[in-house]
Structure 1
Amino acid sequence: MSDCPKCNSKAVYDPPQTVFEDYYHPQHVDVVHQVQVIRRHHCVPVYHHTTTVSVKDVFCGDFEGQNARTASLRGKRR
């Protein structure tokens, strides 16, 4: 290609290209985390020990074979 004085220069244009310049800015966004508390109640057996006492008189020796009335009368005379 030579610089010929008879050749006029001309311009050819391609279709425009779009170039994006992205700018990012912080945006406040609240994220709400919901927590549900469930109070569960359970019955738990707690043992309380109770003692009952019964008293029984048993006569031995000299009182053996006698009825209770006779034994009680002899005890009172002494």
Structure 2
Amino acid sequence: MSHCSGFQCPAVEPIICDPIVVVRDHYFTQVVPVIHTIQVVNRRHCIPVERHIYNTVTVDEGIEERVGVSGRKEKKQNVTVSKAKTKNKVKK
């Protein structure tokens, strides 16, 4: 086909295709409140801890004051003799 021959192609209707979709996403920040509840639990625990308490008792041994029948104070000596000492005295 030559242009010189004078042949001309008939007019045609254009073919229209579905559009090609090009998506350009644009993002914008949006603040969304997220609420977290924190529950604080206070616990109280008893822990036994020893505390040593010492009582002091003082006992006086030896001379004891006694009130006799007459009302006068008599001094009496409390002496305990061990059996070992008594046996030695008996043997001598």
TM-score bracket, shorter-length normalisation:
0.5 to 0.7
* TM-score using structure 1 length: 0.57
The answer for the alignment partner of 1:11 in structure 2 is 14
Higher strand residue share: 2
**RMSD value, Cα:** 3.2
TM-score, normalised by the number of residues in structure 2: 0.51
Gaps of 5+ in 1: none
Q: Which has the larger radius of gyration?
A: 2
Shift of 1:38: 0.5
Identity score, percent: 30
Give 4+ residue runs of structure 1 displaced > 3 Å after superposition. 1-4
Supply the AA of the counterpart residue of 1:40: R
The runs of 5 or more residues in structure 2 that have no matched partner are 68-72, 77-92
